[in-house]
Every structure is written in C-alpha cells, then in structure tokens.
Amino acid sequence: MSTYGTPVTVAAKLDRLPLSGFHYKLLTINGCAWAFDAFDVGLITFIATALSEAWQLSSAQVGILLSSGLRFTGILHLDRTPASAGISPVACPAGAGSGSVEHC
C-alpha cells in the first residue's frame, strides 16, 4: 500500500523499475538459446531428409530414428549433470519401459 491508502499492485511496481544489465544479460542468454535451438532444428531437418533418401526410410521410420536419437542424447546429458551436483536419480514413469533411470 502506498502512503495515501491506495493499493499498489506488484505489476505496477515492476513496471516502474528500470531495465538493468541483469535484464539485458537474460535477454542475451534467451536469444542465444533460441538461435541455437533454431539452428539445431534446421540441421536435423536436412539430416533427416538426406537419411530418409539414402536409406529409403518411411516417415514412421525417420520419426523413430530421430526420437531415439533425442532420447539417447538426453540420457547422456541427464545422467551426468545431477550426479555431479550430488542429486540422486529418481526413476521416472516415462522411462519405466526402457529400463533407464532419469531425473524428474
């Protein structure tokens, strides 16, 4: 509440704050993450097209190939990162069929 008795919302307080270096740093990190993600999607699109033509794969087979590759990559990254921080792995229901241990 302000000194005059009128309520001040959190959104109004946040709107009055100036942008700082922290905000620009977050914006830069977000922009880089978006650019790398867009590059990754574009790269996978060309690779999937080339593989499907070279190996004569159907669209269902290409989907299985790409999803298994993403699953494998995720397992490689997720198994090491939390363990180095001292976080113990938890069995996820999503990974129950594959027998893998993931971090939820």
Domain shared by 74 and 96, yes or no: yes
pLDDT at 28 over 90: yes
Residue 79 has pLDDT above 90, yes or no: no
Q: Are residues 48 and 75 in the same domain?
A: no
Number of domains making up the chain: 2
Considering the chain, what percentage of its residues have pLDDT values greater than 90?
18
103 within some domain: yes
69 and 44 in a common domain = no
More confident residue, 78 or 47: 47
Phi, psi of 98 (to 5 degrees): -95, -10
Instruction: Answer yes or no: is 63 within a domain.
Output: yes
Q: Give residue-wise pLDDT tens across range 33-54.
A: 899 888 878 888 888 889 899 9
CB atoms within 10 A of CB 65: 16
Give the pLDDT confidence score for residue 104 in this predicted structure. Answer: 47
72 lies in the same domain as 82: yes
What's the pTM? Answer: 0.45
User: Is residue 6 one of the residues assigned to a domain?
Assistant: no
Instruction: Give me the domain span that covers residue 32.
Output: 20-56
Q: Which two tokens stand for residue 52?
A: 């499907």
